[in-house]
Amino acid sequence: MEARGELSTKPVQSPRSTTKKISFEEDSTKVSSEALPNAVFFTLFFSVVYFLLSRWREKIRTSTPLHLVTSSEIVAIFALIASFIYLLGFFGIDFVKSLILRPSTDVWNSEDDEEENEVLLCKEDAPKVPCGQALDCSVPGAPVISFQKVFDEKPERVTTEEDEEIVKAVVAGTTPSYSLESKLGDCKRAAAIRREALERLTGKSLSGLPLDGFDYESILGQCCEMPIGYVQIPVGIAGPLLLNGREYSVPMATTEGCLVASTNRGCKAIHLSGGASSVLLKDGMTRAPVVRFSTAKRAADLKLYLEDPLNSETLAVVFNRSSRFARLQGIKCAIAGKNLYMRFTCSTGDAMGMNMVSKGVQNVLDFLQTDFPDMDVIGISGNFCSDKKPAAVNWIEGRGKSVVCEAIIKGDVVRKVLKTSVESLVELNILKNLTGSAMAGALGGFNAHASNIVAAIYIATGQDPAQNVESSHCITMMEAVNDGKDLHISVTMPSIEVGTVGGGTQLASQLACLNLLGVKGANRESPGANSRLLATIVAGAVLAGELSLMSALAAGQLVKSHMKYNRSSKDASNTAS
């Protein structure tokens, strides 16, 4: 402690060495040499204080004026002031100490030594292992690093001459940033160089964006191009969710306060009422190419051919060649003039299946060119699928997994846990989720906040967050049952698009969340079982979230809870520039 404080206030007065480092022996000598004067001043300070207090107490007893001081008292007063100033410096007030112990002028001129001492101290204070997305951040003996410190610390700069030359080439535009991984063969190094070049080009600091602690090899050619770091999102746990007789701890990655707590309260209400049950209604991913003919009649001819049951087996054989898991279920066609939209539906095992179904569709299109050579393929996706857009076809026909989940919440639980009544919930659901959504012209949005829960689980488990658009299509129904004593609540979600293999599910953090739910990877005994189970868990969590939020609205608790838990006093504009 003393050695570090001394380094920060008094530059070292020693000749420059080749290494320019302070040895352990020098630090020990410095500490021992300071021990004697420190002890002297401590003793002097308390002795003088005791002497003066004794003298002044004697004057009070003998009625002697206090302002009449003897020479010994004057000396004692000066000794008190001197020792007090020294002790101020000893306990860390550097500017006072610098006034008393002013260094020589030749030391102030050694700027290089000062800069190196600061660098050494920064390296000592820096965390040895950065907190990564999939690493254990508990380093034994390491200091706790606050969120603010992440912004305050300077990021590690490119150090080698070779890397510096590459950075300059990227900044100059002679080396494309996207080619760094292939040129260097080191994804982590490529990300660091790209990051440094970006900071120089933009003049903006990325110190708050973590770089270390992530496996950049795992995302190469799969998840993200031209990485410069990764974003940290906290993951909370809601549950246990009692669904179909099993308990699940549901991971939710979110930055919205109250969301996890609210969903957790819904899980509690469901658990106390005996749990929820869910049923998978349909499982099929879709892709809809658009083709064009010279006449509408030719488009109709292809439509009739595709929908003829006699051709279904042939088309299925062609389609299924694309994968051992892809199985064609059906083709639904729609005509717009000379244009034909063909909506293929197929099972995809435990994968979400967009790539799988696209390959199967391409096989069928190539096959159809033989009998329909005048067919012009405009695009393998014609938006009749429909992917990542709100669409009535998904709401009506379904896409991915179609699930319905229900529970009967006991009246006592409604009153004691949810702090409302069955009658209030039923009325609010009709006026808000049904009538209100209809007034707004909602498409699949007959719910309170299904997308909140879907998005949080999707991010935590490595799903495609953009597919939250159609995956959060949901209608929430509430009804008083058992002579009005209890509440029946259900959510119907026709297009939950999830997978447990491929994409972001392979990343370490997301894989851990899938493992928590018991749906990690592919199910070898029953292909597709893991992804179907994940879809039912999503629906169960949505049921819990709907139940809790609607109760908060009925009881008038929403604004109060968000003002308490979803407000930040931190000024983010001053954290980094």
Where along the chain do its domains lie? 178-232, 237-282+402-565, 289-384
3-state secondary structure (DSSP) of residue 204: coil
> Active site residue: 114, 215, 256, 427, which one?
256
What pLDDT, in 10s, does the model give residues 111-166?
A: 344 444 433 333 333 333 333 333 343 434 444 444 444 444 455 566 799 999 99
pLDDT band at 64 (very low <50, low <70, confident <90, very high): confident
For residue 572, what is the DSSP state? Answer: G
Q: Which helix (H) or strand (E) holds 369?
A: helix 354-371
Mean pLDDT of 177-184: 95
| pLDDT at position 70 over 80 | yes
Please tell me the predicted confidence (pLDDT) of residue 83: 79
Top pLDDT among 152 and 68 is at 68
In this structure, are residues 210 and 130 in contact, taking their beta carbons and an 8 Å threshold? yes
Residue 152 has φ and ψ, to the nearest 5°, of: -75, -35
Please confirm, yes or no, whether 449 is among the known catalytic residues.
no
Q: Quote the tokens at residue 311.
A: 């051709």
Respond yes or no: is residue 256 known to be catalytic.
yes
The owner of tokens 């879907």 is 454
Q: Specify whether 388 is catalytic.
A: yes
CB-based burial of residue 548 (10 Å sphere; 0-12 exposed, 13-18 middle, 19+ buried)?
buried
The tens digit of pLDDT for each residue in 355-410 reads 999 999 999 999 999 999 999 999 999 999 999 999 999 999 999 999 999 999 99
Give the domain 237-282+402-565 fold: 3.90.770
* Strands 235-243 and 327-336, bridge-based pairing: unpaired
Residue of 515, 287, 274, 499 whose CA lies nearest to 408? 274
Give the residue, 575 or 264, on which the prediction is more confident.
264
> Which one-letter DSSP state was computed for residue 435?
I
pLDDT at 48: 80
* pLDDT tens digits, one per residue of 82-106: 877 877 776 655 444 444 444 443 4
Give the list of residues 6+ apart from residue 419 with CB closer than 8 angstroms, or none: 551, 555, 557
How many H-runs (helices) and E-runs (strands) does the chain carry? 23, 11
Distance CA 363, CA 361 (A): 5
For residue 6, the model assigns a pLDDT of 38
What is the spatial distance between Cα 503 and Cα 562, in angstroms, rounded to a whole number? Answer: 34
Q: What is the mean pLDDT of the chain?
A: 84
Q: DSSP letters along 147-183, please? A: HHHHHHSPPPPP-SHHHHHHHHHHHHTSS-GGGHHHH
Span 479-519, pLDDT tens digits: 999 999 999 999 999 999 999 999 999 999 999 999 999 99
Q: d(Cα 532, Cα 1) in Å, to the nearest integer? A: 58
The phi, psi pair for 250, rounded to 5°, reads -95, 115
Catalytic choice (359, 388, 419, 432): 388
Assigned CATH topology for domain 289-384: Alpha-Beta Plaits (3.30.70)
Catalytic residue among 283, 397, 464, 546: 464
Q: Give the length of the chain.
A: 577
- The answer to whether domain 237-282+402-565 and domain 289-384 are alike in fold is no
Residue from 495, 507, 502, 498 nearest 531 by CA: 498
What is the C-alpha separation between 521 and 515, in angstroms, rounded? Answer: 8
Amino acid in the structure at residue 221: G
Tokens of 218: 């795992």
Active-site residue among 59, 188, 488, 562?
562
Name the DSSP letter for residue 429: I
Coil, helix or strand at residue 141: coil
Mean pLDDT, residues 552-564? 78
Contacts of 423 (CB under 8 A, 6+ apart): 480, 484
Cα 287 to Cα 300: distance, rounded to the nearest angstrom: 19
Query: Which structure tokens are listed for 133?
Result: 């997305």
Q: What angle do CA 518, 506, 282 make, to 5 degrees?
A: 60
116 is catalytic: no
Three-state DSSP class for residue 506? helix
- Residue pair 143/518 in contact (Cβ under 8 Å)? The answer is no
327 versus 9: which is more confidently predicted? 327
Q: What is the pLDDT of residues 372-386, one digit of tens each?
A: 999 999 999 999 999
Cis bond upstream, residue 155 (ω within 30)? no
